[in-house]
Chains A and B, each alone.
Chain A
Amino acid sequence: MASTGSIRKMTIFGATFDVAGDANFEFIPSAYEKENIPSSGRNSTKFTKRSQDLSGVELIMSAAEKELLSESVDAGTVGPISVQLASGQTYTTVGQINFETWSTEENRGSVTVLPLEGVNPWKLV
């Protein structure tokens, strides 16, 4: 049976970060959101393109690490981002980071990953 659970590590633009043990990373697994349009006859299905962002990312980072990441984010860096799952498998993409918050109580940084590729941006290594 495959292992599941806490993310082991996350690498952003070459820097590796510890991940909060209770973080639940949420991948958007497909490039289109589907919605049924009802009619008096058969339904039609509307495909709406969506970005396959990664949310729920909670990293543990010192003030110095936070400063370095902020600098890269504000510079508009587009680079490699990788996530190592509990199973040991690594998913990787190329994209940007939206750095949402950094809280001092637990040195916790909240980020969202915004992949560059529109379709199938996350690759299994």
Chain B
Amino acid sequence: MENKISEENATAQLQVLLDYYDIDFADFEDDKLRQAMTHASKKLVKAIQKGRLEIVESDGITIRQHLKNPSGEVSVLTYREVDGTSKVAMKSKGDGDNYGKIYAMMGSLSGLGDVAIQKLKGVDLALVENLGTLFLQV
């Protein structure tokens, strides 16, 4: 797929999200975590370039994910700003269950619930996981 947005502009858009949540990779002392965040960021920049991810800064911050392979009538997922409700949604997940936490949080932020998120496939699910990796640090 041809890129709709330059890498420079896509990186700037992602930076808006990182700044909004005050996420600075230099603050992470854990090398593995920093690597995971860097990897996730690169994937998110590519998704923004391809038009599969939009960061909308208006009355807080909202993220729109355009699904590549929607299985039903919903082709765009909208994630609201991270809040207490989305964090409480992860309460039943174990410490090491990162995927479970991500699906629960993104299920809450999208309003669809974790099962609908888990049912996404391929690049759509991977994009959720990359976003969730960032959001777990908020």
Stretch at the interface among A8-16, A21-29, A98-106: A8-16
Q: Are A14 and B108 also in contact (CB < 8 A) when A123-B72, A124-B73, A125-B72 are?
A: yes
Kindly identify which residue among B74, B80, B83, B86 contacts A92, using a CB–CB cutoff of 8 Å. B74
How would residues 98 to 115 of chain B score, 1 for a CB under 8 Å from any chain A CB and 0 otherwise? Answer: 000000000111111111
Interface residues on B, range: 20 to 34
Given A84-B116, A90-B119, 15 other A-B residues pairs in contact with their CB atoms under 8 A: A8-B115, A9-B115, A11-B108, A13-B111, A14-B89, A68-B85, A80-B112, A84-B113, A88-B119, A90-B115, A92-B111, A123-B73, A125-B71, A125-B72, A125-B116
Q: Are A80 and B110 also in contact (CB < 8 A) when A15-B89, A123-B72 are?
A: yes
A-B CB pair tally, cutoff 8 Å: 67
* B136: Cβ under 8 A from any A Cβ: no
B88 touches A15 (CB 8 A): yes
Q: Which residues of A contact B115 (CB under 8 A)?
A: 8-9, 84, 88, 90
A to B CB contacts below 8 Å, 23 in the list: A8-B115, A9-B113, A9-B115, A11-B112, A13-B111, A14-B83, A14-B109, A15-B85, A16-B114, A81-B111, A82-B112, A82-B113, A88-B115, A90-B116, A90-B119, A92-B74, A123-B74, A124-B73, A124-B74, A125-B74, A125-B112, A125-B116, A125-B119
Bound Cα distance A124, B73 (Å): 5
Bound Cα distance A124, B80 (Å): 20
B74 nearest CB across to chain A (Å): 5
Q: Which residues of B contact A9 (CB under 8 A)?
A: 113, 115
Q: Which residues of A contact B119 (CB under 8 A)?
A: 88, 90, 125
Within 8 A of A (CB), among B85-138: 85-86, 88-89, 107-116, 119
